[in-house]
Amino acid sequence: MISSTAAAPSLGRDIKVMGLVGVAHWVSHFYHLVLPAVFLLLHDEFEVSFAALGLLTALFYGASGLAQTPAGFMVDRYGARRVLLAGLALLSAATLACGLVESYWMLLPLAILAGIGNSVFHPADLSILTAKISPHRLGRGYATHALCGNLGWAAAPTFMITISQIWDWRVAIICAGLIGLTIVAAFLIWGADLEDTPDASAKVEHIPMGRLMDNARLLLSATIISCFLYFAFLAAALIGIQSFGIPAIINMYGLTLAEASHGITGFLLGTAVGIFFGGILADRTDRHDRIAIFGMVVSALFIFYIAMTAGLGPAMLLGLLVAGGVASGVTTPSRDMLVRAAAPKGASGRVFGFVYSGLDLGSALVPLLLGWAMDQGYPAAVFYATAGFLAVTTLTVVQVRRQVVTAEDPA
């Protein structure tokens, strides 16, 4: 684990650490939507189905999910900065290579490599924040982290479609890959504040069976499993809009590619606005479960209205998507505070790595089904699925709160 300093971190150091980690998270989320943003173009270029394109997303998140828990152990053993830079370099290089392929099938192994690179971000980022940010600013630290990630999501569709329309999709993907490689170089020069000291007690090689069983009991406890399921359902909700929101909007409402892109960007920017205010709320209450439940229910209602209502105009659709994004975003810092409360001291890399692999599981399972629904001419399934999974997340929040309260007050 990252060693804590004897003195409380200064505001300036906190801000710099938040900024560096935020940039890394921005890049990782930006890459999540590099390929989905041009799915319509890839659909025409390679003459493949939406289900086949959904397979790319499934492989990316499947590989990321399988690698994320080992990445958490690597963070605890070797230090977050090393693992973070290695993952970012792999993700960037694999993305750049996607712009050089000559057939759809060449994208499949690159999606897996990119997913492995993506696996490091949550355990590395959140371990750095948990160890280095002052406790009274931690809610805002988590909010900044999530805010930057959502801004990365919001930037990708506009960036990719704009570059694709000026040149083509290959140039857009190559430019996206170069962004990450440039940031890796910058972090090697200016990222000293992320330097950390691995915990010698966290060695995993030749580890006694008793320690292995302790780790298994920790990660498979009711509280941690509830957190894992929360993220799985949340990701299942969001991946539909992120991967197929643009073609779904075009098919449902007859809008242009640019108008549909603006709608998805509005949802993601709305989420970012919600995260900003959610960070303030998270630092002012200890009932993070109430914030998470309220926000998810409200967001689900907005998205459900989109799914069931025909003939929405561009302005009304944009307003509903932004409102749904704001409601969802408010919950994000509180969810991270719930996970922090559930993670024992000294095990944050492992816990964050395992719990956040739920995001990848949910993201891996849903795209194939929604791609098939798109191929069958049922684009509304994208929004019905999003609303349904958002509603289900509230059940897991109740369970997490119950388990944490029980652990704190066993009597």
Q: Does 292 map to a domain?
A: yes
pTM of the model: 0.78
**Residues 92, 205: Cα–Cα separation, whole Å:** 29
Centre a 10 Å sphere on the Cβ of residue 240 and count the other Cβ atoms it contains.
30
Task: Yes or no: say if 38 and 169 are a contact pair by the CB < 8 Å rule.
Answer: yes
Which percentage of the chain shows pLDDT scores above 70? 86
pLDDT tens-digit series, residues 250-301: 999 988 888 888 899 999 899 989 988 888 888 787 787 888 888 999 999 9
State which amino acid sits at residue 22: G
| The pLDDT value given to residue 345 | 63
DSSP for residue 256: -
Could you tell me the CATH number of the domain that includes residue 147? 1.20.1250.20
pLDDT exceeds 70 at position 104: yes
Quick one: 226 exposed, middle or buried, by C-beta within 10 A (0-12, 13-18, 19+)?
buried
Which residues, 6 or more positions from 57, have their beta carbon under 8 angstroms from its beta carbon? 35, 36, 111, 239, 243, 363, 364, 367
| The pLDDT value given to residue 133 | 79
Choice between 36 and 399, residue whose per-residue pLDDT is larger: 36
**Residues 393, 27: Cα–Cα separation, whole Å:** 26
| The pLDDT value given to residue 403 | 54
pLDDT tens-digit series, residues 136-166: 777 778 778 888 988 899 899 989 999 999 9
Q: Does 320 map to a domain?
A: yes
DSSP letters for 18-34: HHHHHHHHHHHHHHHTT
For tokens 């704001």, the residue is 326
Domain that holds residue 46: 11-193+207-405
Total domains present in the chain: 1
**Residues 275, 332: Cα–Cα separation, whole Å:** 6
Q: Does 2 map to a domain?
A: no
| The pLDDT value given to residue 56 | 94
| The pLDDT value given to residue 113 | 96
DSSP letters for 136-190: GGHHHHHHHHHHHHHHHHHHHHHHHHHHHHHS-HHHHHHHHHHHHHHHHHHHHHH
Q: Does 202 map to a domain?
A: no
DSSP for residue 379: T
Averaged confidence pLDDT in the chain: 84
Helices H, strands E: what count in the chain? 16, 0
Q: Does 134 map to a domain?
A: yes
Closest CA to 94 of 74, 73, 113, 66: 113
| The pLDDT value given to residue 141 | 80
Closest CA to 298 of 186, 177, 172, 390: 390
Average pLDDT over residues 341-362: 72
Q: Does 357 map to a domain?
A: yes
Instruction: Assign residue 366 a region (left: φ > 0; alpha: ψ between -120 and 50; beta: otherwise).
Output: alpha
pLDDT exceeds 80 at position 126: no
Centre a 10 Å sphere on the Cβ of residue 146 and count the other Cβ atoms it contains.
27
| The pLDDT value given to residue 115 | 95
| The pLDDT value given to residue 6 | 39
Q: Does 90 map to a domain?
A: yes
pLDDT tens-digit series, residues 174-215: 999 999 999 999 988 887 666 655 444 444 443 343 466 666
Torsion of CA 323, 328, 332, 338, to 10 degrees: 140
Q: Which two tokens stand for residue 269?
A: 């920017």
Q: Does 201 map to a domain?
A: no
Q: Which two tokens stand for residue 23?
A: 């940039």
Confidence of residue 379 (pLDDT cuts 50, 70, 90): very high
> What does the chain come to in residues?
411
